[in-house]
């Protein structure tokens, strides 16, 4: 049995196992600590904090699936039940969609706070933020149902001991969801770009004294990180599936999972208020 497993493991699989292991080692503590600080030091009455908490939860869900990916690339075959493969696949797809959505919400919230601080007060409430977060999770749960049914049928009709490369199975429903996902991701990327331009213009024209330059840099770092994550982590996989390329999807999956390590940069390096107590956060944007 061990000899068979060893022969199935290629050098490429060992590299993938190492990459996923490194991402898990970095991403798990980063997101766990981020979530703890957000819940402990920040009031969830802030819409920005609400979106960040949900983003950290989304990343943690993905990180928890990495041990199974590491197991697969270490042994060379999928030895766990097909239901586990189904769950991991759904978590992977949900992470792309939910993370992109929460990042976009964070960008829009920063836009409203910087460009329309007074007119947006009635919109930027924790109640609206929780409604938006609940809507995102609810929509993706509904979308996952037909996807999960189709993917499970695919797994049951194939006897090969594989899981993750089965992302490339073909069905009408799957193709429609892939193209819809591309449209949504491109739309959200456009929203992030517009937010970046508008906030940059506003800060350039209204923040001129040296005391506020650091705050300006911090705010723009959020948008820079968001754009990098979108272009590097979220777009490659659906574009790959849409083009029906015969190349392996695993390298692109590594980029997607990398978002678990990049997202916490918004918390640690973009917000001075991240380290402050609840009573001090209210003075920030």
CB atoms within 10 A of CB 250: 19
Confidence of residue 249 (pLDDT cuts 50, 70, 90): confident
Nearest to 266 by CA among 64, 61, 110, 93: 110
Whether residue 284 lies inside any domain: the answer is no
pLDDT value of position 245 = 66
Whether residue 139 lies inside any domain: the answer is yes
Whether residue 283 lies inside any domain: the answer is no
Share of the chain above pLDDT 90, in %: 25
The per-residue DSSP string of 120-169 comes to TTTTS-HHHHHHHHHHHHHHHHHHHHHHHHHHHHHHHT--SS--GGGGG-
Q: How many domains does the chain have?
A: 1
Whether residue 175 lies inside any domain: the answer is yes
pLDDT value of position 278 = 46
Question: What CA–CA distance (Å, rounded) separates 163 from 203?
Answer: 48
- pLDDT digits 0-9 by tens, 169-197: 556 667 788 788 888 899 999 999 999 99
Among 47-51, 95-99, 159-163, the least confident range: 159-163
Average the pLDDT over 104-129 and give the result: 89
Residue 76, domain extent: 2-278
103 pLDDT more than 90: yes
Whether residue 145 lies inside any domain: the answer is yes
pLDDT value of position 154 = 76
Q: 264: domain CATH number?
A: 1.20.1070.10
Whether residue 230 lies inside any domain: the answer is yes
pTM of the model: 0.85
102 pLDDT more than 90: yes
pLDDT value of position 277 = 47
Residue with tokens 């993370």: 99
281 pLDDT more than 60: no
75 pLDDT more than 80: yes
Average the pLDDT over 207-221 and give the result: 63
Average pLDDT over the chain, rounded to whole? 80
Whether residue 256 lies inside any domain: the answer is yes
Whether residue 81 lies inside any domain: the answer is yes
The per-residue DSSP string of 55-92 comes to HHHHHHHHHTTHHHHHHHHHHSS--S-HHHHHHHHHHH
């Amino acid at each position: 049995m061990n000899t068979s497993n060893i022969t199935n493991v290629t050098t490429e699989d060992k590299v993938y196992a190492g990459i996923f292991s490194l991402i898990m080692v970095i991403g798990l503590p980063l997101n766990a600590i981020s979530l703890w600080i957000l819940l402990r030091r920040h009031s969830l009455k802030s819409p920005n904090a609400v979106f960040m908490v949900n983003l950290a939860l989304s990343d943690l869900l993905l990180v928890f699936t990495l041990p199974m990916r590491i197991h697969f690339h270490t042994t060379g075959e999928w030895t766990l039940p097909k239901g586990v493969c189904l769950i991991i696949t759904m978590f992977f797809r949900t992470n792309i969609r939910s993370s992109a959505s929460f990042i976009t919400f964070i960008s829009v919230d920063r836009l409203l706070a910087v460009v329309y601080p007074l007119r947006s007060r009635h919109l930027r409430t924790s109640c609206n933020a929780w409604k938006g977060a609940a809507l995102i999770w609810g929509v993706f749960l509904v979308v996952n149902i037909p996807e999960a049914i189709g993917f499970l049928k695919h797994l049951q009709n194939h006897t090969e001991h594989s899981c993750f490369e089965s992302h490339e199975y073909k069905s009408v429903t799957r193709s429609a969801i892939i193209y819809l996902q591309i449209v949504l991701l491109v739309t959200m990327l456009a929203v992030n770009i517009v937010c970046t331009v508008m906030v940059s213009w506003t800060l350039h024209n209204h923040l001129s004294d040296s005391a506020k330059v650091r705050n300006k840099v911090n705010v723009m770092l959020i948008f820079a990180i968001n754009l990098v994550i979108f272009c590097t982590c979220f777009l490659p996989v659906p574009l790959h599936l849409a083009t029906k390329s015969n190349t392996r999807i695993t390298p692109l999956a590594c980029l997607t999972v990398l978002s678990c390590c990049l997202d916490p940069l918004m918390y640690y390096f973009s917000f001075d208020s991240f380290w402050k107590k609840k009573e001090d956060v209210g003075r920030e944007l």
